[in-house]
Structure 1
């Protein structure tokens, strides 16, 4: 097969959020070439219908499969919940998704766990199965992050208005929860802002586990990169502007 991204790994998200997963992947797999695609023109996915999310995700992944990628990471909880089974039945390459990190939060002994995620992620069956499976003995408190992704995508996360938005969403839980699961890949970029509302409590997200699963699947299929050079990362966006790519690079370079 020939293609523009032959033997690359595709990392896909509804926008900039999946860069939090990309950072974990490049940390664990520094020799892999990666193409990151954010569908920012259609973000946020969390307020769309399941059918819309499936169609958008399928069309994006089909393009990169046709261009020769060897694996795809759906670095979006909403797209994983809505589309992962369809993608796995459609394409023969490894498809790795993400899920809210409820399991590690429960295994760490936390008993009142706030799960902040998009409306769709919290609504679909995948989350309810996860909470039921791992939430025994713990109280799982779902909180839809309405309006949060739009502000992150716009780069407006250090404004009084954004603090007020988080206060309205989360303030009532201050002192009432002992851990936070960041159930949207955008949310690791606002840990500090969330901590300003909820206090200094542990945070959990699925990025590291997704990177480990990607490495396992690449190894299992014999397609781990054998190069000793650093891999490259290409940033692409459906909102194809220099400003959007600059935002992606900013998130990728954040400490």
Structure 2
């Protein structure tokens, strides 16, 4: 494998670009290819079989494009499909799980909230992780119904979004949570709205930095880190409209290429 080959990243849509940003921040010289499977978003309402099939499709596409490592920047795809992907492909595959462990270790109120998709909350991997780290802790699990659809449409702060967030966070506020774990890579984009709604003592955490660090560790161990010699290629492909990706990546517009392609 050539160290100049790209890091491949996929998500059920645009949300995993929040993970891509963390990877690019930590590994700014790496070539990257991102697949936004927005045509099939959200994954969270699909069966485990459908999620696995879509994850295989995305993995095959990233391998075809020469990826040296694949980051599954989707909680639902990780919790439902990563074991199958690792069994079937001889390439490092990095997953993303909700940051339950740090929240459970640091909570003072002994009450934490988890906002995630139905597909993540109902998965076996999520269940095992939660049981392992939250024995003496109250956990309020909320399905973020409707959030991914709004984010995919670029609606991050409209009245409908605010109304949904107030509804989803009320049980957490009532339970006196002091940590909110974001269990979907789309959700970092609504942190500003969440901060306006939640009490000031509530800390919001996601898995982006941890995924970036793990990606670097694995590439280092395989001697696959790219040596800087030319500016990196930062490619984004979506099978739906490019509008929302352009909105979310506006700070990177001089450096990234965004294209619509069927996959």
TM-score relative to the length of structure 2: 0.89
Matched with 2:48 is 50
In 2, Cα distance between equivalents of 1:207 and 1:164: 26
Structure 2, unaligned stretches of length 5 or more? 254-263
In 2, Cα distance between equivalents of 1:56 and 1:44: 11
Matched with 1:243 is 243
The C-alpha deviation readout for 1:130-175, integer Å capped at 9, x for no partner, is: 1111112222211110011000111112111211111112123325
The C-alpha deviation readout for 1:57-88, integer Å capped at 9, x for no partner, is: 10111121122110000000000011101111
Contact kept in structure 1, 2:99 and 2:181, CA below 8 Å: yes
Matched with 2:234 is 233
Q: How does 1:87-236 map to 2 (within 5 A)?
A: 87-110=85-108, 111-174=110-173, 176-200=176-200, 201-236=202-237
The C-alpha deviation readout for 1:150-203, integer Å capped at 9, x for no partner, is: 001111121112111111121233252111000100111101111222222211
In 2, Cα distance between equivalents of 1:62 and 1:251: 30
In 2, Cα distance between equivalents of 1:252 and 1:95: 26
In 2, Cα distance between equivalents of 1:252 and 1:73: 20
Matched with 2:30 is 32
Contact kept in structure 1, 2:29 and 2:232, CA below 8 Å: yes
Residue 228 of structure 1 and its aligned partner are, at CA, apart by 4.7
Residue 30 of structure 1 and its aligned partner are, at CA, apart by 0.9
Secondary structure at the counterpart of residue 46 of structure 1: helix
TM-score relative to the length of structure 1: 0.92
Residue 232 of structure 1 and its aligned partner are, at CA, apart by 2.8
Deviates more, 1:136-145 or 1:67-76: 136-145
In 2, Cα distance between equivalents of 1:192 and 1:74: 25
In 1, Cα distance between equivalents of 2:229 and 2:101: 35
Structure 1, unaligned stretches of length 5 or more? none
Residue 243 of structure 1 and its aligned partner are, at CA, apart by 2.2
Matched with 1:15 is 13
Residue 17 of structure 1 and its aligned partner are, at CA, apart by 0.7
In 1, Cα distance between equivalents of 2:51 and 2:106: 33
Change (3 A) 1:133 1:165: same
How many pairs are equivalent? 250
Q: Pairwise CA RMSD of aligned residues?
A: 2.0
In 2, Cα distance between equivalents of 1:251 and 1:43: 24
Q: How does 1:69-84 map to 2 (within 5 A)?
A: 69-84=67-82
In 2, Cα distance between equivalents of 1:251 and 1:118: 28
